[in-house]
Chains A and B, each alone.
Chain A
Amino acid sequence: MYAWKCWRESRARFIFLLIMFTVTALLFTLQPGLGERNGWWYFDRSEYIRNPGPTAHVVFSMILSVLWCSGFLSAVFLGATASGSEIEPGTIEYLWTRPRTRASVTWTHWGLCVAEIVIVAVVPIYLAAALLGILTRRWDSSGPVISALLIAPWLMVIVGLPVLGLTTLMTALRRSASGGLIYTSGVVIAYAILRQIIIVPLHLNPPTLFAGPLVWLMNNNQFGATPIAFPWGALWRAVFLAAAFPLAAQYLLKRAEV
């Protein structure tokens, strides 16, 4: 029943994010064929057939340049509905007097959010990949662009999971949805700014907080780019944080008094 409640509370955000990212991905996919004549828009498929490789690469770069943040945004907006957000409005008294452990409540919400993040990441990009396949008449998934499109959403999810955990933790700490949302964004943005500040003067290269796999995907798929090694360290760090943050939230909520 708690999963149903989580779904009811997050479904509007989920549907909004899904539509927004799907429309964006499809528009970017169609963009190379769009033209304007005498004030009218028209679509010409010839560019896709004439230069399938470069066109697909342009489409991929455009999609990734905007949709790379889908995991992050979904995680923050969906994660802010975690049970900690019920403390400030007072519905937590109702929730915590149902015979469900606080741990099960935390992980039920987490599981539902993971499912939603996966859908928000996978559906727009796989639809774009399918459309690109139709337009270029090439379905070779071993090709560099299509294969990159197929793995991109999963890397977005890997980036999103630690952010989801961080949002769950911040929501428990701040005891409200808005507090969780603001503090998570604050932590991520503050770290990114701090990282940029210290890279040059201190000659340090601190790791990107969670975004390593996505940075790899974007750098590895530029025209003429030399292939670089997959950042396994960043991946494991993301996996570790994805588990550690919700566990910390679970501990906090278990000890919380209302």
Chain B
Amino acid sequence: MSDAAILTEGLSKSFGAQAAVSELNLRIQPGAVYGFLGRNGAGKTTTMRMLLGLVRPTKGRARVLGLDPTREAELMRILERVAFVPQRKQLYGWATPGELARMNKGYFPRWSDEAAARLAQRLEIPMNMAFKKLSIGNQSKVALLLALAQEAEVLILDEPTAGLDPVMVDEILRTLIEDHVSQGRTIFVSSHHMGEVEQICDWVGILEGGRLLLESRLEEIRQEFRLVIASGEGLSAASSTDVVSATTDGRFRRYVVAREAERFAAELRGQGATILEISPLGLRELFLHLVRKEDPCTPGNAGAKAAPVSSFS
């Protein structure tokens, strides 16, 4: 259990009657780069906040580096070893990035001045200007610099590139790959930009309405996941356990199949359907199919609520 960098078991959080996260089971191995995808309000930020002790779970449990974030003593040890970039990059407006870096240095034993200086130069951050006077993009870059120079074992990044131009996004992704992914650090990143996730992540989890719809290796999605479009009467049910989602579009039925798409298509043909297309899915298409579906399904039971599909073995 404790060998996972991040582990959640039945983790749930409700705000009054509103469930923000429901029965979330995650197991992120050390060194994994995990993209956490979902629409606004899907529960990504709440999950990250629970991992950092900013929000207490209503149910279930979480472990970060084998430590429990709900216990203060263990939380302090987590915070020493984890870097966090929040969604709202709000830092002290009066402080310059240089002062913020010096302040951070006092908190973190593994802080690297050399990394901070290199990042400041690479990300073109004006280090002597008050934080409140910086543009939104530069404020995001400062938040990233503070997190990356911490030399943390785990990076938790909540939409880290929001507000940045494409050149800077590319620079940051390359920094992440060169300085962190290559050193085997664990990265747990939420983003709305599928391109970024595809560029750096090896795992993805898709969250919707607080529930994990899918968790898989990115490579597996590329190789195994297929979109099957069929037409015909009475196709609402699917017997295959590999169907991740099924949607109806006029006379057509679209299935997202996790594996063995050909076998599934044969099943449909057996029901009298005409198979119009079997095509590979990109992450963006898969995400849109999963979160937009009109008719969610559990594996093997199209029409019911979606259940997590995990490729961990």
Contact = CB atoms under 8 A, between A and B. Distances in A.
B84 interface: yes
B80 interface: yes
Interface string B68-85: 000010001101100010
A1 B106 contact: yes
A4 interface: yes
B136 interface: no
Contacts of B56: 257
Contact of A8 (B54, B76, B94): B94
B53 interface: yes
Given A91-B91, A93-B90, A99 B107 contact: yes
Contact of B76 (A5, A89, A99): A99
Nearest to A8: B94
A4 B76 CA distance: 20
B103 A5 contact: yes
B107 A91 contact: no
B88 A93 contact: yes
Contacts of B49: 257-258
B88 A90 contact: yes
B84 A97 contact: yes
A101 B75 CA distance: 9
A9 B76 CA distance: 25
Q: Is the interface of A mostly helix, strand, loop or mixed?
A: loop
Interface residues of B, number: 26
A96 interface: yes
Contact of B94 (A9, A90, A258): A9
A257 B90 contact: no
A101 B72 contact: yes
Interface in B98-114: 99, 103-108
A1 B103 contact: yes
A257 B55 contact: yes
B92 A97 contact: no
Max chain B Cβ within 10 angstroms of own Cβ: one of A4, A91, A258: A91
Contact of A96 (B54, B92, B95, B104): B54
B90 A96 contact: no
Contacts of A97: 52, 54, 79, 84, 86
Nearest to A3: B106
Contacts of B92: 5, 8-9, 91, 94
B95 A8 contact: yes
Contacts of A101: 72, 76
A50 interface: no
Contacts of A93: 54, 84, 86, 88, 90
B91 to A, nearest CB: 6
A13 to B, nearest CB: 13
Contacts of A9: 92, 94
Given A1-B106, A99-B80, A99-B108, A258 B88 contact: no
Contact of B79 (A5, A8, A99, A258): A99
A89 B86 CA distance: 14
Nearest to A255: B56
Contacts of A89: 90
Contacts of B53: 96
B86 A94 contact: yes
Contacts of B106: 1, 4
Contacts of B107: 1, 98-100
A89 B104 CA distance: 19
Contacts of A5: 92, 95, 103
A8 B94 CA distance: 9
A7 to B, nearest CB: 12
A257 B13 CA distance: 12
A145 B247 CA distance: 89
Contacts of A94: 86, 90-92
A14 to B, nearest CB: 15
Contacts of A8: 92, 94-95, 99
Contact of A91 (B54, B80, B90, B104): B90
Contact of B90 (A1, A90, A98, A99): A90
A254 B56 CA distance: 11
Interface string A84-127: 00000111011011111100000000000000000000000000
Contacts of B80: 99
A98 B78 CA distance: 10
Nearest to B92: A91
A97 B52 CA distance: 7
Contacts of B105: 1
Contacts of B77: 99
Nearest to B99: A8
Interface of B: 49, 52-56, 72, 76-77, 79-80, 84, 86, 88, 90-92, 94-95, 99, 103-108
Given A1-B104, A99-B107, A101-B76, 17 more contacts: A4-B103, A5-B103, A9-B92, A9-B94, A89-B90, A91-B91, A93-B54, A96-B53, A97-B86, A98-B79, A98-B104, A98-B107, A99-B79, A100-B76, A100-B107, A257-B49, A258-B49
5 contacts: A1-B107, A94-B92, A97-B54, A98-B107, A257-B55
State the 6 A-B residue pairs at the shortest beta-carbon distance, nearest first: A1-B106, A90-B90, A99-B79, A99-B80, A98-B107, A93-B86
